Amino acid sequence: MHPRTHELLDYLERQRAVLRTAFDTVAPPLRDRSPAIGRWSTAGVIEHLAIVEQRVSGRLSAALTHAREKGLPAESSTVPLLPSINVAPLIDRTTRITAPEAAQPTGLGAEAAWTALEQAGLLVRDTARTCDGWAVGTVLVPHPVFGPISLYHWFAFVGAHEARHAAQIHEIAATFVSIS
């Protein structure tokens, strides 16, 4: 496995562990409960991530297929990627980002949402493995907030997106603690 693929897969796994820890901080009976009117429940946050990751894996897979058909070269660099990718704007929860309608949760329960996220996460990781060894830093796909970014950036942003929502879940858990 190419070092860049390994780096990104490792990052995705670390962020998933952070997300799981956050999910587990919310008592199971509270996971489906919204902390306030108009706010997502923990289950809603997880379902949102599942929706986004499923959609992202499809877009990135299609972009890779298209780039390979056009003669995408092999990756020649082994320089670590993550130090060069600024994920801070995505992780920063002081800037509110409204998810598009297609990425809004539909009401899955917490356990069903987590199962959907696990399945979507497998698709993302499979897509990353399919990119292994290809110069996907040259393949740009538009991001709705950050504009055109490379496939490498997309994989880092999937992990950062999970980190952002792990922080949101910690905020939800704190809300429940403060009202008890």
Cα 19 from Cα 165, distance rounded (Å): 7
Architecture of domain 3-178 in this structure? Up-down Bundle (1.20)
When mean pLDDT is compared over 12-21, 77-86, 90-99, the highest value belongs to 12-21
Query: pTM for this one?
Result: 0.94
- Position 98 scores a pLDDT of 86
8 A C-beta contact, residue 91 and residue 164: yes
- If we measure between CA atoms, which residue out of 17, 41, 54 comes closest to residue 162? 17
- If we measure between CA atoms, which residue out of 31, 22, 61, 45 comes closest to residue 117? 45
pLDDT of residue 180 exceeding 60, the answer is no
Q: Backbone phi, then psi, for 116, in 5-degree steps?
A: -65, -40
Confidence of residue 130 (pLDDT cuts 50, 70, 90): very high
8 A C-beta contact, residue 29 and residue 180: no
8 A C-beta contact, residue 144 and residue 100: yes
Q: Backbone phi, then psi, for 147, in 5-degree steps?
A: 75, -165
Q: 7-48: per-residue pLDDT in tens?
A: 999 999 999 999 999 999 999 999 999 998 889 999 999 999
